[in-house]
């Protein structure tokens, strides 16, 4: 389905849907709930989406594609592996702590998607891991990383960031930038020689 031309309207619809799905749960949110929250006719939603499941997939896939594009760019750059890691950690922390509603969906609603959509997102998750591993391998090859298993290091970082949905308040005393800087400090101090 071709995307409608009004990207601002799509952005607003996606923001409302992400909020409802994250707060009420995908299965507990009806098309009627979404239309009511948007002040739209329920039938009008089908101009933008084929189904409720497509809404969920588009939110989750969009978040992953946006962040993967940035991370791929950092990994392909001529930066040192230390700088690549710091930039990836900083971006990933800011992005997912800042996009908490989509993060909640990625963590809790994967099984609500059909098998084809799950497969697409699982491939993207594997790509994240491969990119992270590639930086850790560069650090290891240059003897700049402590002898820590890459799987442990990778999932320790992902766990640290993804758990922010449980406690981090975007309107609290710690800004996204400060949070990201703290995560970079904690993580790199733990693995760099």
CATH number of the structural domain spanning residue 127 = 1.10.357.10
Q: Give the residue among 1, 4, 114, 102 at the shortest CA–CA distance from 61.
A: 102
pLDDT at 1 over 80: no
Residue 5: the pLDDT is 54
Give yes or no for residue 4 having a pLDDT over 60. Answer: no
CA dist., res. 111 & res. 115, Å (int): 9
The reply to whether 27 falls in a domain is no
- Structure confidence by residue, pLDDT tens digits, 10-46: 888 999 999 999 999 999 999 999 999 999 998 888 8
Q: Is 61 a residue whose pLDDT tops 90? A: yes
Higher pLDDT, 145 or 191: 145
Residue 126 lies in a domain: yes
Q: What is the count of structural domains for the chain?
A: 1
Structural domain contains residue 106 = yes
Q: For residue 151, tell me if it sits in a domain.
A: yes
Long-range contacts of 75-81 (CB under 8 A, 24+ apart): 75/131, 75/134, 75/135, 81/135, 81/138, 81/139, 81/142, 81/144
Does residue 38 fall inside a structural domain? no
pLDDT of residue 174: 95
Per-residue model confidence as pLDDT tens digits over 148-188: 999 999 999 999 999 999 999 989 999 999 999 999 999 99
**Per-residue model confidence as pLDDT tens digits over 88-117:** 999 999 999 998 999 999 999 999 999 999
| Residue 74 included in any domain | yes
Taking only the tens place, the pLDDT of each residue in 124-143 is 999 999 999 999 999 999 99
Q: Are 29 and 104 in contact (CB under 8 A)?
A: no
State how far the alpha carbon of 61 is from the alpha carbons of 32, 64, 71, 112, 153, in Å: 23, 5, 15, 14, 25
- Specify if 182 maps to a domain: yes
110 is in which domain, residue-wise?
53-191
Residue 136 lies in a domain: yes
pLDDT for residue 2 is more than 70: no
pLDDT category at 192 given cuts 50, 70, 90 is confident
Give, in order, the Cα–Cα distances in Å from 163 to each of 72, 104, 116: 23, 10, 27
């Amino acid at each position: 389905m071709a995307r409608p031309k009004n990207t601002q309207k799509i952005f607003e619809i996606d923001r409302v849907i992400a909020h409802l799905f994250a707060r009420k749960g995908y299965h507990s949110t009806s098309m009627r709930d979404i239309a009511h929250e948007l002040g739209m006719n329920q039938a009008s939603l089908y101009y933008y989406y084929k189904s409720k499941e497509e809404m969920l997939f588009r939110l989750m896939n969009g978040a992953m594609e946006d962040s993967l594009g940035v991370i791929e760019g950092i990994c392909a750059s001529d930066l040192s592996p230390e700088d690549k890691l710091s930039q990836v950690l900083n971006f990933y922390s800011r992005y997912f702590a800042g996009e908490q509603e989509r993060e909640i969906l990625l963590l809790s609603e994967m099984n609500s998607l059909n098998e084809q959509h799950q497969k697409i997102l699982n491939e993207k998750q594997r790509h994240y891991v491969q990119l992270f591993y590639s930086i850790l391998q560069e650090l290891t090859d240059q003897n700049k990383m402590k002898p820590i298993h890459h799987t442990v290091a990778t999932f320790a970082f992902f766990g640290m960031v993804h758990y922010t949905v449980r406690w981090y308040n975007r309107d609290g005393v710690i800004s996204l930038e400060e949070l990201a800087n703290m995560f970079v400090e904690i993580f790199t101090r733990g693995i760099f020689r």
